[in-house]
Structure 1
Amino acid sequence: MKRTKQQAASAFCLGLVALLAGCNVGPKYRPPSAPAPVAPAYKETPANFQDADGWKVANPNDAMLRGKWWEIYNEPELNSLEEQLNINNQNIKVYFENYMAARAMTRQAKAQYWPTVTTNPSWQRSRSSANLTNSSNANTGQQSTTWAFPFDVSWEPDFFGKIRNEVREAEYAAQVSAADLANEQLVEQASLAEYYFELRGQDALQKILDDTVEADKKALEYNQNQYDTGVGDYISVVEAKTTLQTAESQSLNLGVSRAQYEHAIAMLIGKPATDFKLAVEPKLIKPPAVPVGVPSKLLERRPDVAAAERTVAEDNATIGIGYGAFFPDVTLSATGGFEASQFQHWFDWPSRLWSIGPSISQTIFNGGLYRAELNQYVATYNANVATYRQTTLTAFQQVEDYLAATSILSNQILKQQQAVDSSKQYLDLEMQRYQMGIDPYLDVTVAQTTLLSNQQTLATLQVQVATASVELVQALGGGWDRADLPTPQQTAVKPKKGEYSYER
C-alpha cells in the first residue's frame, strides 16, 4: 500500500512537471503586415520588353538573378575582382564573425536546457586547538584528515517558457546577423561594380580628351603655319593655343578621379592601394537586360527586409522573456559524493554522502521593475514593426527609382549620340568654311568645344546608366532569396573545421 502511494505521488509529480514544461508565456509571433503592392508590374518598367529602343528589362517570366549576379555584365576582369572581394573584404569578415558569434550565443542559450554538473575534489589535514576546554568539539587538540569527492548537480526546468524564449531570441538574432551579412556582401559587391564602371568611364573620358588634345595640336600647328606664311592672323593662333591648353588641363584633371576609384577598388578587395594597379582600358559598359520579376516577390529577395522582419521576431521573443519574469524560478539541486578520513576508505560505500532538494525563488516586490521592462520590450517591438514597414517601402522606392533612372538615361543616351554625330558634322562644316576664308577661327573653336562637351556628356551618361543598372540589381536583392536564410535549427549548428579560427 505504501509503495502504491509513492508510485502515485511520483506519477503526479512527473505529470505536473510535464504540464508546466509545456507552458510558454508571451505572445505568439505573427509576422507584421507589410504594404503590399497591388500592381502586377513595377510602374517604371518599360511597357515593351522586347522592342524598346533603349535599355530593356528581361521578361518577368525569365529566371531571376541568382548567385554571382555581376556575371551578367560579361566583364572577366570585374568577375575576378568580385571573387577577390568575397574572400578578402574586411567589412564582410566583420559581419561574418558577428554571425559566428550569434551562432555561438544560440548554443549558449540552448545549454540552459541541460543540468549543470560540477565537482570539487579536495584533501584537508587539520589540527584543532587543545585549549578549547569549553568547546562542544569533542576532538579538541586532535589532528584529522578529510578526503572529499563531491558532485553538485543543479537544473532549472523550463516550466514557464523563459528559456525557450531566450533560445528563440538567440536564434532569431542569429538569423538577423545572417541577413546583415548577406546585405553587407551585396553592398560591397555593388560598390565594387560601380567603382569599376566609373574607373572605365574615366578611361573612356581620358581617351576622348587625348584625341581632342591631338586634334588641337594639329589645329595649332596649322594656324601657326598660316600665320608664319602671312595667310592667317595671330588671333587664330591664340585661339587654337587656348583651346589646346584647356583640353590639356581637363585631361590632367581626370587623373584625380581615376586614382581615387582605383584606390577604392584596392580597399574593397583587401589590398593596399600602394601595391594595386589596374591597366588603362577605355570601355563604356552597356547594361544588360535585368530580370526584375514582379513586385510581390521583392520582399522575399531583399536581405535588409529579412533582417528587419527577423528583428521583429526577436523582439517578440524578448516580450515572452519579460512575461516569464513574473513567474517563479524553480531549481532542482543535488549533491553527492564520497568523504573519508583515510584514503583507502575514500570510495567505500559507507563513505557516500548526498543531499537533494528543490528551491523556488519568487520576487514579491521590486517597485514595478518587471512591468516597466515589459513595457520597454513592447515599445521596442512596435518601433521595429514600423522600421520593417519603412524598410519595405524603401525597397519599392529604390526599385522604381533605378528602373526609371536606367530607362530614362538609356533613352537620353540615344539622343545624346545623335547630338555627338551632329557636332562632328558641325565641326567638319565649320572647318571647311574657315579654310575657305568665310568664317573666323573662333567659329571653329566653338564647334570644337561643342563636340567635346557632347562627347563628355555621352560618356558620363553611359557611366551613369551602368551604375544605375548595378543599383537596380542591388535594389532587387542581387539574386538573394529568403530561402538562403538559415533556419533557427541551423543557427545552432557547430561551425565546421576551418570555418571558425583565431586570427592574429
Structure 2
Amino acid sequence: MRLSLSVHSLSVPPRRLLAAALCAVLGGCALAPAYEAPAIDLPAGFKEAGDWVPAAPADDAPRGAWWTVFNDPVLNDLAASVQVSNQNVAAAGAAYAQARALVAGQRAALFPAVSLDAGADRSSSRSTVSGAQGARLGNSYQVSLGGSWEPDLWGRLRGGVQNAAAQAEASAADLALATLSAQGELAANYLNLRETDIQAELLQATIAGYERVLQITQNRYDAGVAPKTDLFQSQTQLATARADLVALQRQRAQLEHAIAVLLGKTPAEFSLPPAAWQPTVPDIPLVLPSTLLQRRPDIAAAERRVAAANAAIGVARAGYFPGIGLSASYGYGASRVGDLFNASAAAWSLGLSLAQRVFDAGAVSAQVASARAAHERTAAQYRQTVLVAFQGVEDQLAASRVLAQQLELRRAASSAADQAEQQVLNRYRAGQVSYTEVVTAQTTALQARRTLAQLQADRQIVAVALIQALGGGWTGNP
C-alpha cells in the first residue's frame, strides 16, 4: 500500500514548489554503505618465484604487444589481428558498449523529462430550443508543453548510476580479459603448430636415415650376412616413422583450423605454411602480488561487480522512504485554430506529489536483504578470483623453473642418444651386434630428439601462460 498526496498550483504557489525542489536536491543523501574493496591477505612475494626479480620499472608500463617478445614476425601479424577479427572479442566489445549506454540511460533519469502534446477534437451535442431538438458541432484544439522531475532525495537514482557505471567498468575489464585470452590462445596454438613443424622435420630426417639403413640391411640380407628378421625389423621401423609423420599432419591441420577461428575466419579461408621455428623463451619480469590486483582484468572485473552490488544496496534501501515528484505544464486551448495562441486561451499548472509506502508485507526489507546477500556473493567471488589468480602465477612459475632444468638434462640425453645410435650402427655394419640393438638405439635417439623439441615448445607455451597469469605483457620488454 502506498499513501499518495498530490498538491496543485491552486494551493501551492510556484515559488514554494521551487523551494521544495531545491531542498530535495540539496538534502539528497546516499543510502549505500561506504564502499571498500573486499579485504584479502596478500603474500609479500610468490612462493615459486625463486631467483625471479620483481619488475619494479615495468610495473606501470602499458600492456601492449606482449607477443613480440617471441621474435616471430608471423605471430606478430596474427596476434595483432585478433582484437579486430575475433568474434568473442567483438561480443565483449558490444557488451561494453551496451553497458555504457545503460549508464547514459541511468544518468538521464537525474534530469527533468519534457514533452510536447497537441490534439484536436470534434464533438456534437444535442439541445432542445422551443420544443425543437438540434445538434451542435464543436471543435477543440489543445497544445501544451509539460515537464516532470523526480528529485533524487534519497540517492536512489544516483545509486542506479553508480551501479551501472561499475557494471560498465566491469564490462571494460571483461573486454580486456577476452582480448588477452584470445591472444594467448592464438599464441599457444601457433607455437604448438610450429612445434609440429619441427617434429615433422625430425621425422623426415629420421625417415631418410631409416631408408638408408633399410638399404644396408637389404644388401646384407641379399649377401646372406643378415637374417630376414633384420629386414622385417627395418621395414617395420620405417613404416612406423612414416605413420607418425601422417599423425603429425593431422595435428597440424587441427591447430591451423583453431587459429583460423580465433582470427574470425573459416578454416577454408586460412592457411599457414611451414616456416622456421624461433625457439625463443623470453625473460618475463615478475610483479608484486599487490600489483597483480590491478593488472589482472578478471580481478578488476570482479572488484567492479562488488562496487555495483554495494550501490544496489542503497537503491534497495531508498524504498523505505517516500518518493517525490514535480510536474509542470503550460499550454493553450481554443475552439478555433486562430484563437489557439491568444493569451486568453493560455493555461498553466504546477504540481507536487508525495508517495509513501505504508504496508508492503516486507517487500522492501526483502529487497534490501537480497541486495546485501548479492554484495556478499560478489565479494566472495572476488576473493576466489584473486586466489585462483595467485595459483595461476605460482603454477606457471613452478613450470618455468622445472622445464628450464629439464631442458639441460634432455639436451644432454639427446646428444648422448645420437652418439650411441651412430656407434651401434657402425658396429652393425661391421657385424659386431644384432639389428635389434640398432632398432633400440635408433628408437631411443628419435624419442630423445622429439622430446627435446617438445620441451622447447612447452617452455614457450608456459611463458605465454605466465604472461596471461600476470595480466598481460610490458611494452618494450626485451
Give the alignment's TM-score, normalised by structure 1. 0.87
Aligned to 2:6: none
In structure 1, the partner of 2:9 is none
Q: Report the Cα distance in structure 2 between the residues aligned to 1:243 and 1:467, rounded to whole angstroms.
A: 31
Aligned counterparts of 2:465 and 2:14: Cα–Cα separation in 1? 70
2:41 is matched with which residue?
35
8 A contact 1:190–1:470 mirrored in 2: yes
Query: 1:18 and 1:103, CA in 2 relative to 1: closer, same or farther beyond 3 A?
Result: closer
Query: Given the alignment, which residue of 9, 17, 20 partners 2:24?
Result: 17
Q: Work out which of the residue numbers 244, 252, 260 in structure 2 matches 1:258.
A: 252
- Cα separation, 2, equivalents of 1:267 and 1:292: 32
Residues 1:308 and 2:302 are matched in the alignment: yes
1:359 corresponds in structure 2 to 353
Which secondary structure state, in structure 2, belongs to the residue aligned with residue 442 of structure 1?
A: helix
Which among 123, 126, 149 is matched to residue 123 of structure 2?
A: 126
1:405 has 2:399 as partner: yes
User: Given the alignment, which residue of 98, 102, 110 partners 1:105?
Assistant: 102
Q: Are the equivalent residues in 1 in contact too, given 2:58–2:474 (CA < 8 A)? A: no
Distance 1:318 1:131, change over 3 A: farther
Deviation digits for residues 114-157 of structure 1 (CA, Å, limit 9, x no counterpart) = 11111221122221234799xxxxx9731111111022211111
* Structure-2 separation of matches of 1:16 and 1:118: 25
Give the superposition deviation at 1:227: 1.1
Q: Secondary structure at the match of 2:95?
A: helix
Higher strand share: 2
Deviation at 1:296? Answer: 2.3
Q: Which amino acid is 1:252 matched to?
A: V
Q: How does 1:182-331 map to 2 (within 5 A)?
A: 182-283=176-277, 285-331=279-325
| Distance change (3 Å), C-alpha of 1:160 and 1:62 | closer
1:160-179 CA distance string (max 9 Å, x none):
10000000001001001000
Q: Could you tell me which residue of structure 2 aligns to residue 63 of structure 1? A: 58
Root-mean-square deviation (Å): 2.2
Report if aligned partners of 1:165, 1:320 keep a CA contact under 8 Å in 2. Answer: yes
Instruction: Report the Cα distance in structure 2 between the residues aligned to 1:7 and 1:341, rounded to whole angstroms.
Output: 29
Q: Which residue of structure 2 aligns with residue 426 of structure 1?
A: 420
Q: 1:11 to 1:79 in 2, by over 3 A?
A: closer
- TM-score (structure 2 length as normaliser): 0.92
Corresponding residue for 1:81?
A: 78
Aligned to 2:3: none
CA–CA separation in structure 2 for the residues paired with 1:349 and 1:62:
74
Write out per-residue CA displacement over residues 356-390 of structure 1, whole angstroms, 9 at most, x where no aligned residue: 11111122111111111111111110011111111
Structure 1 residues 347 and 91, CA gap change in structure 2 (3 angstroms): same
Secondary structure of the residue aligned to 2:172 is: helix
Per the TM alignment, residue 12 of structure 1 is displaced from its structure 2 partner at its CA by 6.1
Match of 1:95 among 89, 92, 103: 92
Alpha-carbon distance in structure 1 between the residues aligned to 2:110 and 2:458: 56
The range that moved more, 222-231 or 92-101, is 222-231
Letter of the 1:125 partner, please give it: R
**Contact 1:99–1:177 (CA under 8 A) maintained in structure 2:** yes
Residue type of the partner of 1:99? Y
Structure 1 pair 59–324 and aligned structure 2 pair: CA distance change class (3 A)? closer
* Aligned match of 1:492: none
Change (3 A) 1:454 1:62: farther
Q: Which residue of 1 aligns with 2:455?
A: 461
C-alpha deviation, 1:335, in angstroms: 2.2
CA distance in 2, matches of 1:480, 1:395: 18
User: How many angstroms apart in 2 are the aligned matches of 1:477 and 1:199?
Assistant: 24
The aligned residue for residue 7 of structure 2 is none
Q: Distance in 2 between matches of 1:305 and 1:237?
A: 62
Contact 2:44–2:288 at 8 Å: present in 1 too?
A: no
Question: Is 1:45–2:49 an aligned residue pair?
Answer: yes
Helix, strand or coil: the match of 1:478? coil
Structure 1 residue 46: Cα displacement: 3.5
User: Hey, what does 2:439 align to over in structure 1?
Assistant: 445
- 8 A contact 1:58–1:289 mirrored in 2: no
Displacement after TM superposition at 1:419 (Å)? 0.5
1:376 and 1:428 map into 2 onto residues whose CA distance is 75
Q: Deviations 1:392-430 (Å, cap 9, x if unpaired)?
A: 111111111101101211110110010000001111111
The CA deviation string for residues 198-217 of structure 1, in whole angstroms up to 9 with x for no partner, is 00000011111111111111
2:372 is matched with 378
Map Cα deviations across residues 13-67 of structure 1 (whole Å, 9 max, x no partner): 466334423x22221111111221123xx222242xxxxxxxxx56634424631
The answer as to whether partners of 2:257 and 2:267 remain within 8 angstroms in 1 is yes
* CA pair 78-8 structure 1, distance change in 2 beyond 3 A: closer
Quote the Cα distance in structure 1 between the aligned partners of 2:395 and 2:134: 91
Residues of 2 paired with 1:464 and 1:397: CA distance? 19
Give ranges in structure 1 of 5+ residues lacking alignment.
1-5, 48-56, 134-138, 482-504
Q: Match for residue 392 of structure 1?
A: 386
How far apart are 1:223 and its partner, in Å? Answer: 0.6
Deviation at 1:68, TM superposition (A): 1.0
**Residues 172-183 of structure 1 correspond to what in structure 2 (within 5 A)?**
172-183=166-177
Aligned counterparts of 1:9 and 1:177: Cα–Cα separation in 2:
44
* Counterparts of 1:445 and 1:344, CA distance in 2: 110
Matches of 2:15 and 2:80 in 1, distance apart?
A: 67
How big is the shift at 1:73? 1.1
- Cα deviation, 1:443-483, whole Å, max 9, x if unaligned, reads 000000001111111111111111100000000000489xx
Instruction: Decide whether aligned partners of structure 1 residues 177 and 11 sit closer, same or farther in structure 2, where only a CA change above 3 A counts.
Output: closer
Percent of aligned positions that are identical: 36
Counterpart in the other structure of 1:489: none
Mapped contact 1:124–1:146 kept (Cα < 8 A): yes
Q: Deviations over 1:330-358 (max 9, x none)?
A: 11112220111111111011110112111
State how far apart, in whole Å, the 1-side matches of 2:369 and 2:54 are: 49
How many Å apart are 1:8 and its aligned residue?
Answer: 9.6
Task: Tell me, yes or no, if the aligned pair for 1:204 and 1:284 is still in contact at 8 Å.
Answer: no
SS of the equivalent of 1:362 reads strand
